[in-house]
């Protein structure tokens, strides 16, 4: 769209405001109500994708029922000559990401005031069983009066709908992604609370808690690493305020606040002098007691050992003396019996050795990591081994339907003919989708199928792209998804 163009005869475009994963946003003027509005237009390359259109429309449906001063209002939704659009309240200001950068350090009371506005808006969404799933500073707008307004419910789902689908099960920005979403689990209200805790962390420190070489490495840190302490960054931050961050970002969802309202109540008293001596929050699931047996209960007292030796020693000496005496007086017949017994023992030993040599041969488990099931089966048979149970699990490094390991493991020596259990990869539990527009479909499809994605394509006649190049993808770039439950559809130029 260009300035002065009119959408549906009502919304005159003034200027571009920004670009998103699936839509472009413009400042426009409502010619009927005489007010400025923000118009979100679905990107041209996504106009014919039914799933994206449904997601775009879902944003409008999700937000229209949310009437709250800290949530961006949706005024209208429609279509004009194949262009799908969404008309929203225009917030004259900036987003929270830029606000933090421009105003850091932010006074603690101001941080709490802003967070209380955000929490109030999210509480309303949760009251309607709507989970945002992508809360981040970029989706929180700040007007010139310092009021916060939550936007972009494009990935939000009503709780009832969320239980019915697992397609693109992990959606959200990786820096604010909850551990359960990073693992590929469905988001809950407590997942939003985790993201809110990360936002509070960033407002207090001016940075996100985890950085990495790529999005996957950051997601892994979210479900493996302890969130850094904000008081290590700034010791002046009250412990009670740090505790709000720690509880909201607990790895176990059940250790977090039960609701956004509970988090808001805790935050409201974080600067109170009554909480000045508060101890650092430790997640309850990390403080479960483990009973450890005292090692001394398995040891014999040194005094008891000495007493036993003192009691046994005279008896043992006496017995040895008697045996020696008997040996000296042994009858010659007994010597012959001893010789016969010796010969008998030699024969038994020979039979035992022969029996042992008749055992099956010993072989070494080959390394079949990275092979397909068929390839691994062939190699194991070549080593006189059988294939046992086949199990499957997710793996970040090993490609889809490739061998992760064997049980017994490689290089172990076993008897020929035994069964070897094989663990197959289901691909990564989480994967960040790149922007493949303009890339070769053949190369991209091969790469994604190796990760476990189902890949589909449709041919589009166009002169704008070379033959075989991708001109559209159904999954928005930078989204974190679970490959084995995700289908990516590509439009390919011909």
For the stretch 455-482, pLDDT in tens is: 999 998 877 788 999 998 988 887 878 8
The CATH number that applies at residue 418 is: 3.30.10.20
Give residue 293's pLDDT: 37
Look at residue 274 and tell me if it is in a domain.
yes
Shared domain for 124 and 266, answered yes or no, is yes
The closest alpha carbon to 173, from 125, 197, 139, 142, belongs to 139
User: Would you state the structure tokens that stand for residue 139, as one six-digit string?
Assistant: 């989706």
Residue-level pLDDT at 355: 52
Single residue among 29, 54, 89 that ends a domain in this structure:
89
Same domain (yes/no): 114, 22: no
* Number of other CB atoms surrounding residue 106 within 10 Å: 17
Which CATH number characterizes residue 211's domain? 1.10.510.10
pLDDT the model gives residue 297: 34
Q: Number of folded domains in the chain?
A: 4
pLDDT digits (tens, 9 = 90+) for 29-38: 999 999 999 9
380 and 467 inside one domain: no
Q: Give CA–CA dist 71/120, Å, rounded.
A: 9
Q: How far, in Å, CA of 133 to CA of 189, rounded? A: 8
Query: How many Cβ atoms from other residues are within 10 Å of residue 172's Cβ?
Result: 24
Domain boundary among 370, 403, 425: 425
Residues 184 and 85 in one domain: no
Same domain, 262 and 278: yes
Indicate if 134 belongs to the active site.
yes
**Can you tell me whether residue 142 is helix, strand or coil?**
strand
Give me the DSSP letters along 241-256.
Answer: HHHHHHHHT-SSGGGS
Domain-located, residue 328:
no
Of 238, 265, 286, the domain-final residue: 286
Question: Is residue 337 in some structural domain?
Answer: no
Are residues 100 and 200 part of one domain? yes
372 and 462 both lie in a single domain: no
User: Can you give the pLDDT at residue 313?
Assistant: 42
Separation between Cα atoms, residue 219 and residue 211, nearest integer Å? 9
Residues 381, 234 within the same domain: no
Read off the pTM.
Answer: 0.57
Question: Residue 290: its pLDDT value, please?
Answer: 39
Residues paired with 40 in a beta bridge: 25, 86
Strand duo 362-364 + 157-158: pairing: unpaired
Of the candidates 80, 175, 79, which has an alpha carbon nearest to the alpha carbon of residue 134?
Answer: 175
Task: Provide the pLDDT for residue 354.
Answer: 56
Alpha carbons within 13 angstroms on the beta-carbon side of residue 361 total 6
CB atoms within 10 A of CB 54: 10
Task: Measure the CA–CA gap between 251 and 45, rounded to whole angstroms.
Answer: 38
CA distance 461 to 140: 40
Residue 410 within a domain? yes
Q: Are residues 21 and 73 in the same domain?
A: yes
Please indicate, yes or no, whether residues 469 and 378 belong to a single structural domain of this protein.
Answer: no
φ/ψ bin of 193: left (φ > 0), alpha (ψ from -120 to 50), beta (otherwise): alpha
Within 10 Å of residue 121's Cβ, how many Cβ atoms? 23
- Asked if residue 275 and residue 167 are part of one domain, the reply reads yes
Of 98, 94, 186, the closest CA to residue 143 belongs to 94
Residue 329 lies inside a defined structural domain of this protein: no
- State the burial class of residue 159 (Cβ atoms within 10 Å of its Cβ: 0-12, 13-18, 19+): middle
User: Which one is catalytic: 134, 152, 192, 395?
Assistant: 134
Q: Which of 25, 7, 8, 6 is nearest to 17 (CA)?
A: 25
pLDDT, position 379: 93
pLDDT in tens, the chain (494 residues): 678 889 888 999 999 888 766 678 899 999 999 999 999 887 766 666 777 777 666 666 666 778 899 999 888 888 887 788 889 999 999 999 999 999 999 999 999 999 999 999 999 999 988 888 889 999 999 999 999 999 887 545 444 344 333 333 344 578 999 998 888 788 899 999 999 999 999 999 999 999 988 888 888 889 888 899 999 999 999 999 999 999 999 999 999 999 999 999 999 999 999 999 999 999 887 765 433 333 333 333 443 334 334 333 444 444 445 545 544 555 567 777 777 777 777 777 766 665 555 555 788 999 999 999 999 999 999 999 998 888 887 787 888 889 998 988 888 887 788 888 888 888 887 788 889 998 999 999 999 999 889 999 999 887 778 899 999 898 888 787 888 888 999 999 98
Look at residue 342 and tell me if it is in a domain.
no
| Structural domain for 37, as ranges | 6-89
163 within some domain: yes
Report the C-alpha gap between 400 and 393 in whole angstroms.
10
**What is the residue-wise DSSP string for 371-411?**
--HHHHHHHHHHTT-EEEEEEEE--SSSPTTSEEEEESPTT
Residues 140 and 282 in one domain: yes
296 domain-assigned: no
């Amino acid at each position: 769209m260009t300035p002065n163009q009119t959408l549906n005869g009502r919304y005159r475009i003034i200027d571009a405001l920004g670009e998103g994963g699936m839509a472009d946003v413009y400042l426009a003027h409502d010619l009927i109500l005489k007010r400025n509005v923000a118009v979100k237009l679905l990107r041209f390359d996504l106009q014919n994708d039914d799933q994206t259109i449904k997601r775009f429309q879902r944003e409008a449906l999700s937000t229209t029922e949310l009437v709250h001063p800290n949530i961006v209002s949706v005024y209208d939704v429609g279509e004009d000559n194949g262009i799908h659009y969404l008309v929203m309240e225009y917030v004259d200001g900036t987003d929270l990401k830029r606000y933090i950068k421009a105003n850091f350090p932010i006074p603690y009371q101001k941080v709490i005031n802003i967070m209380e506005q955000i929490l109030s808006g999210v509480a309303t969404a949760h009251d309607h069983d709507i989970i945002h799933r992508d809360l981040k500073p970029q989706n929180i707008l700040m007007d010139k009066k310092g009021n916060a307004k939550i936007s972009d419910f494009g990935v939000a789902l009503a709780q009832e709908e969320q239980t019915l689908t697992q397609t693109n099960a992990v959606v959200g920005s990786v820096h604010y992604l909850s551990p359960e979403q990073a693992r590929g689990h469905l988001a809950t209200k407590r997942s939003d609370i985790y993201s809110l805790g990360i936002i509070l962390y960033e407002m207090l420190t001016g940075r996100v808690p985890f950085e990495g070489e790529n999005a996957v490495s950051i997601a892994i840190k979210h479900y493996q690493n302890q969130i850094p302490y904000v008081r290590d960054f700034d010791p002046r931050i009250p412990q009670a305020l740090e505790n709000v961050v720690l509880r909201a970002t607990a790895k176990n969802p059940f250790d977090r606040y039960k609701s956004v309202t509970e988090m808001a109540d805790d935050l409201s008293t974080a600067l109170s002098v009554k909480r000045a001596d508060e101890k650092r929050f430790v997640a309850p699931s990390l403080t479960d007691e483990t009973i450890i047996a005292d090692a001394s209960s398995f040891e014999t007292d040194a005094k008891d050992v000495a007493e036993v030796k003192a009691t046994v020693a005279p008896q043992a000496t006496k017995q040895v003396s008697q045996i020696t005496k008997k040996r000296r007086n042994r009858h010659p017949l007994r010597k012959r019996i001893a010789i016969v017994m010796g010969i008998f023992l030699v024969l038994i030993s020979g039979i035992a050795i022969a029996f042992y040599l008749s055992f099956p041969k010993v072989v070494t488990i080959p390394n079949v990591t990275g092979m397909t099931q068929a390839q691994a089966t062939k190699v194991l048979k070549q080593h006189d081994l059988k294939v046992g149970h086949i199990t499957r699990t997710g793996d970040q490094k090993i490609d889809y339907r490739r061998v992760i390991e064997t049980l017994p493991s490689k290089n172990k020596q076993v008897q020929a003919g035994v069964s070897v259990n094989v663990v197959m990869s289901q691909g990564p539990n989480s994967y960040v989708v790149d922007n493949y527009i303009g890339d070769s479909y053949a190369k991209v499809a091969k790469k994604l199928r190796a990760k476990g994605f189902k890949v589909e394509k449709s041919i589009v006649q166009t002169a704008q792209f070379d033959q075989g190049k991708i001109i559209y993808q159904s999954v928005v770039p930078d989204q974190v998804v679970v490959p084995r439950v995700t289908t990516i559809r590509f439009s390919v130029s011909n």
